[in-house]
Structure 1
């Protein structure tokens, strides 16, 4: 399977997890001339101010060279995502009063059992098997750009 397909499966996994925790997915792979944002989600349940999360998903095999994708979130990458978020807010001005944050999801994957060809949730926390791959949410960092 190509890296692009693995990345898309990782994004699918994170989008499903966000929805299961009360987030509503507004956009997937939102792009403009400045860049792309993997997931844009909003949370409005039981809070005073709605939250808009611009989520960067990094899907890597176990033991990757760039610390599971954390090393790929450079200041230049952050600036591109921030500019792209500005374009999104310009296109959807009704969301401009929301509290905005930039989250990062670190997902690992490995080849699962060869005879496992259907979606099945494992007993491990926040992990899923999709076809021949097992995906696991290693870390979800809310407001990550403040910490990276």
Structure 2
């Protein structure tokens, strides 16, 4: 099994978790010059959320949350701005404004979701 396969399994677990909470998944593995957005979702309340999903088989070195560096968050912020620009008609309200946005990290392990850290930026 490749690293990409393992990452995809972690994202599958995260997406299932989010859908169970009533979220709509708008995008998975969106690529751009700034990097990749693992998951773009919308909460039941309409909040737009950009998620970084990290799968780690153990927490020996801090788990998935420790793997999200300031540099990764900067790339995530840039990629999300481009995603919103390209998807404006899809996400704009009737007043032609962007919805509220949040950045989250989900830590996934062999046992499932370890942490869902909301509002990392």
For 2:52, the equivalent position in structure 1 comes to 56
Higher percent of residues as strand: 1
Of residues 57, 61, 83, the one that matches 2:78 is 83
Q: Which has the higher contact order (CA 8 A, sep 6+)?
A: 2
Cα distance in 1 for residues equivalent to 2:66 and 2:14? 19
C-alpha separation in 2, matches of 1:90 and 1:64: 39
Gaps of 5+ in 1: 110-134
Question: RMSD between aligned alpha carbons?
Answer: 1.3
2:113 to 120, 131, 137: 137
Answering whether residue 69 of structure 2 is matched by residue 68 of structure 1, we say: no
The alignment status of 1:19 with 2:35, answered yes or no, reads no
What's 1:34 paired with? 34
In the alignment, what sits opposite 2:108? 107
In the alignment of these two chains, the number of paired residues is 115
Other structure's SS at 1:63 match: coil
Rg larger for: 1
**TM-score in terms of structure 1 length:** 0.73
Offset at residue 63 of structure 1 (A):
3.1
1:86, CA displacement in angstroms? 0.5
- Counterpart mapping for 1:113-124 below 5 A: none
CA distance in 2, matches of 1:82, 1:136: 26
**Following TM superposition, by how much is the alpha carbon of 1:69 offset from its aligned partner in structure 2, in angstroms?**
1.9
Report if aligned partners of 2:65, 2:106 keep a CA contact under 8 Å in 1: no
Q: Which residue of 1 aligns with 2:95?
A: none
Deviation track 1:18-59 (CA, whole Å, cap 9, x = no partner) reads 01110000000011011101000012x3x4xx2000000010
Question: TM-score, normalization: structure 2?
Answer: 0.88
